[in-house]
Every structure is written in structure tokens, then in C-alpha cells.
Amino acid sequence: MPEAVFVVHLDDYQGFIVEKRYPASFTLNEKVLNLIFYEHEKEGKENLRYTEVETFRVASFVDKAHHGWMVCFVLGPEEQLESLRRPILGMGRLILELMIEAPETVRLEHILERQSSLDEIGEEQKYAQVFLTPSSALLLEKMESEGVEKAAKISIWLKGQVQTDSVDLREVIKPLMDSGLVKVEVIGKTTETVFLLRDLFGYRAPPVKAITKAKESVPQLAAKYLEQVTQFFTPPPPSKGYNPTIPSDDPNSPVFEDRERISRVLSKSLRYTVLNCLREEPLTTRQIADKTELPEEVVQNALSTLQSDHVTAEIGEGTWALLTDPVMETFMPEFILPVIAKKLSAKEIGPDIARRHLELLSEAWSGRK
């Protein structure tokens, strides 16, 4: 494994600050940091680079979601980046998230020795980003009614909605494209067209799998666990409980507000890691820390935050379980098929666009149940 690791933060006033390093005796100069850091500015959101500078062979990791931060791994003379790419990416993600959320818990030597890591964000987290970006959520609603539309027309509409000419459609549409909800293609010579391929619904599901497993793993707590979940979803009258299927066009309705809340839960990688661990069964804080390789303090903080968001509950002394399971579910937008036909009849779109939309829908959903 790498001989050394250090974490750098670029401060607007003080320049580069080495926030953490291992071993403590490891030294480097600002020239090296400059050469490594600014090469990353040319790259995308998350990237890993290899640099040979002075006597160092450095694998450096940045994530544009954490602007100004960089994790560097100093490789030994016989080590090759390609063979270490996956563990270094995982360790880099974990270190950055911990430095942002709980820097006092970062133990570089332990992370390096155990190769503790954090997974790349998955589909659920990408979907959550749509609802956390107000203009993107607004654009999804627009596409739900339009199905297919020219990008130029959407751009004009969006500027009218947000009352500014500075809105960048490419930035707004990016979360939808990254998550596969829409696709943008050039049809004809110059016409950029936006196609809706998937619709998205965010809600809380009962943690059925964890409840079932609790009967085996913690039978003495299973009844209490089921009671707490039931109390949330179907409490005795006059309480109404939780029902995300009640239609509402009010942007201030509890359903929309809760959708944003669970999106925030899913978007935070450390909390998401803890949540995902509890989807299987109830666990103690120590068990979660062992399974996730997160510091126990971080796990406890995540559990407390998730509890305040009605996602987790302590069902016994030190034993935690999911109270609700935040879900981001996609489905085929069959409701847009009549819209496509209507637009074609009214000559709002041509046969080439209608045909291409059906092809894209078929490609997106063929083989899916």
C-alpha cells in the first residue's frame, strides 16, 4: 500500500494547508502541491491523477463536490497506480467525506492499514440530487407534462420560471441526465431535443426485510420494532399516518417537503452508508461500525441525525433499526405516449423525433420487469 497519505485544503487566504498527514514525519513543499492540485482543475467531478514530481510518485484524488480539497497517496517505487486504483478511489472518497463531516475522527493510518473505503455514489443518490436542485425538480415536472421538447424552448420557459436570464440549462438538466431520467440528442442538423425516459417517485417504504430479519436476529425486540413502524405508517385515529400517494399540486404540501428531506438523507454518503447497512437487519452501533468501517463516533452521529428525520429508531438499548426506508423509484412514463401522438398530430414534433423517442424508451426499458 502507499507509503504516505496527506490531505490538503486550499484556503482563500492562507493557501494550501496540509490538514492531515501520515506518517507525521512526512514533509512536502508548496511547489509540489501546486503542480498536483491545479492539474485537477481541468478534470471532471471526481478524478484520480498520477503525478511524478521531484522525488515523489503521487496518486491524487479530488471530488468537485468538495471544492478545494485533495487527498494524495505517495506510492512506493514498485507500486503501480492501476493495481491500486480501486482501493485508492475508495479511501479517497472516505477521507474527504470524513474531513468534511467529522475531521476529528480521521485516522489516516487506520484507513490505510485496513483499506477502509466508501463506494461511488449509486443510482439512489443520483436520483436524490434531482429533488435537491430546485430548478432540476421543476424541469422534471415540465418534462412530465411535455414528454419531449426542444432544448431551446425549455431554456426560454425555465428563464421565465426562475425570473432570470443567467440560468444555465446544461447545469439544470445535468442531474436528470446523470441519473438517466432524460436524454438530450441532436435531431436533424442543429436541433437539440430533450426526451423523458424515466419518471421518478421518492417516498418512505416500510422496512419489511429488516422487520422479518429482526424476528430471527433479535426476537426479544421484534415486537417492539414492529409496533414502532406500525405507529409511524398506520397510527390509531385521528392521526393519519404516512401516505405519499395522496395527490397534491401544492409545492408546500407535506409530501413534497418530505421528498426533499429523504433526498437530503440519501445524498449524504456517510448517512447513506449507515442507512443501507440497516436495510438488512437491526444492529448495534458497534456492529454498524464494523460492517461499514466507519468510526463509531461517525456512526452514532449519523444514527442520531437519521432518527431526527424519522429514518432510524433505537428499538433496544444500543440496538438500532430502520423506522422507514427512503426509496427513490423510477418507472416508465407511459402517460407520455398520448402526448407524443398529440404533438405529432399537431405537427409540434416531426416523425423523426416521435420515432426516436419511442426507440429510446424501448432501449431504456427492454428487459426490465
Q: Does 114 score more than 70 pLDDT?
A: yes
Q: How far apart are the first and last CA of the chain?
A: 43
Kindly state whether residue 191 falls inside one of the protein's structural domains.
Answer: yes
Kindly state whether residue 142 falls inside one of the protein's structural domains.
Answer: yes
Phi, psi angle pair for 319, to nearest 5°: -110, 125
pLDDT at position 34: 84
Residues spanned by the domain of 184: 123-197+352-362
Kindly state whether residue 322 falls inside one of the protein's structural domains.
Answer: yes
CA distance 369 to 367: 7
In the structure, what pLDDT confidence band is assigned to residue 7 with cuts at 50, 70 and 90? very high
Residues 218 and 319 in one domain: yes
pLDDT, one tens digit per residue, over 196-251 is: 999 999 999 999 999 999 999 999 999 999 999 999 998 888 877 777 766 555 55
Kindly state whether residue 347 falls inside one of the protein's structural domains.
Answer: no
Kindly state whether residue 211 falls inside one of the protein's structural domains.
Answer: yes
Among 83, 114, 145, the domain boundary falls at 114
Residues 20 and 98 in one domain: yes
For residues 49-71, average pLDDT: 89
In the structure, what pLDDT confidence band is assigned to residue 46 with cuts at 50, 70 and 90? low
pLDDT at position 188: 78
* 130: CATH: 1.10.10.10
Strand partners, 9: 17, 69
Residues 214 and 178 in one domain: no
pTM strictly above 0.75: yes
pLDDT at position 43: 64
Among 114, 138, 169, the domain boundary falls at 114
pLDDT at position 29: 80
Residues 15 and 134 in one domain: no
In the structure, what pLDDT confidence band is assigned to residue 55 with cuts at 50, 70 and 90? confident
pLDDT, one tens digit per residue, over 22-34 is: 999 888 788 888 8
Residues 219 and 187 in one domain: no
Residues 67 and 139 in one domain: no
Dmax (CA) of the chain? 73
- Of the candidates 316, 288, 326, 299, which has an alpha carbon nearest to the alpha carbon of residue 228? 316
When mean pLDDT is compared across 23-27, 33-37, 156-160, 353-357, the lowest value belongs to 33-37
Number of structural domains the chain divides into? 3
Percentage of residues in the chain having pLDDT higher than 90: 72
Residues 79 and 128 in one domain: no
Residue 176 burial (CB count, 10 A): 27
Residues 145 and 163 in one domain: yes
Supply 65's cell numbers: 463536490
Q: Does 368 score more than 60 pLDDT?
A: no
Residues 70 and 92 in one domain: yes
β-pairing, 69-74 vs 4-11, is antiparallel
Kindly state whether residue 250 falls inside one of the protein's structural domains.
Answer: yes
In the structure, what pLDDT confidence band is assigned to residue 77 with cuts at 50, 70 and 90? confident
Residues 207 and 282 in one domain: yes
Among 97, 114, 131, the domain boundary falls at 114
pLDDT at position 40: 77
Residues 181 and 107 in one domain: no
Kindly state whether residue 339 falls inside one of the protein's structural domains.
Answer: no
Q: Is 4 exposed, middle or buried (0-12, 13-18, 19+ CB in 10 A)?
A: buried
pLDDT, one tens digit per residue, over 266-298 is: 999 999 999 999 999 999 999 999 999 999 999
The strands making up 148-150's β-sheet, listed across from edge to edge, are 148-150, 191-196, 182-187
pLDDT at position 74: 93
Kindly state whether residue 247 falls inside one of the protein's structural domains.
Answer: yes
pLDDT at position 250: 56
* 94: CATH: 3.30.450
Residues 222 and 154 in one domain: no
Supply 213's cell numbers: 430479519
Q: Which long-range contacts (CB under 8 A, 24 or more apart) does 19-23 make?
A: 19/99, 19/103, 20/95, 20/99, 20/103, 20/106, 20/108, 21/108, 22/108, 22/109, 22/112, 23/109
Q: Does 176 score more than 90 pLDDT?
A: yes
